[in-house]
């Protein structure tokens, strides 16, 4: 089991990172809550990781804190919640918001996340209500977004691609971004605002 990576960020393309660890490049999928805290390309980073081994692939997921990884591990133990959906949940709302939804029985807020239906939301609340503690969400998710790597594509198109990768339909992802004033915003800022607006929609 690969439990932690310490290396330099080579590439950032939400929701995937490429981390150079002593000459070996690790592809890591991370929630947007982690992306918001990343340093710039070329700088060092420590990620707490979770390895998922399947018959056809080995997938590595990375998190800014152990508590965030712990929440991810709790999520994937729920019937019907795989790693991709868990990543989407942690991208759509930070750990504090998720814990609040569970403790307040707010299934409606969970259903607004892509891939989360009514039954899944109710299952999350029932199975995690007694397991989650407020201190599991101690990581600061309010840090300013860091700049993305320079690329030929625009921040808007990169943001749309990231939202699609997180489970939103292409038309919905485009609509979410169009509703924003994206001038002078980085890709991560566009993603953050799009997700916040989507979750808050009644």
What's the chain's average pLDDT? 82
Domain assignment present for 144 = no
The per-residue pLDDT for 144 is 31
The per-residue pLDDT for 199 is 63
Domain assignment present for 110 = yes
Q: Residue 129 and residue 107: Cα distance in Å, rounded?
A: 12
Q: Residue 62 and residue 31: Cα distance in Å, rounded?
A: 8
Domain assignment present for 54 = yes
The per-residue pLDDT for 162 is 84
Are 8 and 54 part of one and the same domain? yes
Domain assignment present for 143 = no
The per-residue pLDDT for 202 is 40
Domain that holds residue 35: 4-63
Q: Residue 104 and residue 108: Cα distance in Å, rounded?
A: 11
Is this structure's pTM higher than 0.85? no
Q: Residue 168 and residue 166: Cα distance in Å, rounded?
A: 6
The per-residue pLDDT for 153 is 61
Q: Residue 22 and residue 3: Cα distance in Å, rounded?
A: 16
What residues have CB less than 8 Å from 93, skipping those under 6 apart? 101, 109, 113, 195, 199
pLDDT digits (tens, 9 = 90+) for 99-136: 888 888 889 889 888 888 899 999 999 888 877 754 44
Are 58 and 11 part of one and the same domain? yes
Ranges in the chain, pLDDT < 70: 133-153, 199-202
174: CATH: 1.10.8.10
Domain assignment present for 97 = yes
């Amino acid at each position: 089991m690969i439990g932690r990576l310490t290396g330099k960020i080579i590439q950032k393309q939400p929701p995937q990172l490429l981390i150079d660890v002593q000459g070996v490049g690790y592809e890591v999928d991370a929630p947007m809550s982690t992306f918001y805290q990343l340093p710039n390309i070329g700088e060092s980073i420590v990620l707490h990781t979770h390895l998922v081994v399947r018959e056809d692939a080995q997938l590595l997921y990375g998190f800014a804190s152990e508590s965030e990884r712990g929440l991810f591990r709790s999520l994937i133990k729920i019937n019907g919640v795989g790693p991709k959906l868990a990543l989407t949940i942690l991208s759509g709302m930070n750990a504090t918001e998720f814990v609040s939804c569970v403790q307040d029985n707010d299934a409606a807020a969970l259903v607004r996340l892509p891939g989360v239906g009514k039954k899944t939301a109710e299952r999350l609340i029932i199975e995690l209500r007694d397991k989650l503690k407020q201190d599991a969400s101690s990581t600061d998710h309010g840090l300013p977004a860091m700049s993305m790597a320079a690329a030929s594509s625009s921040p808007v198109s990169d943001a749309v691609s990231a939202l699609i990768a997180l489970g939103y339909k292409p038309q919905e992802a485009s609509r979410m971004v169009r509703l924003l004033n994206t001038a002078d915003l980085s890709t991560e800022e566009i993603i953050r605002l799009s997700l916040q607006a989507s979750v808050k929609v009644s």
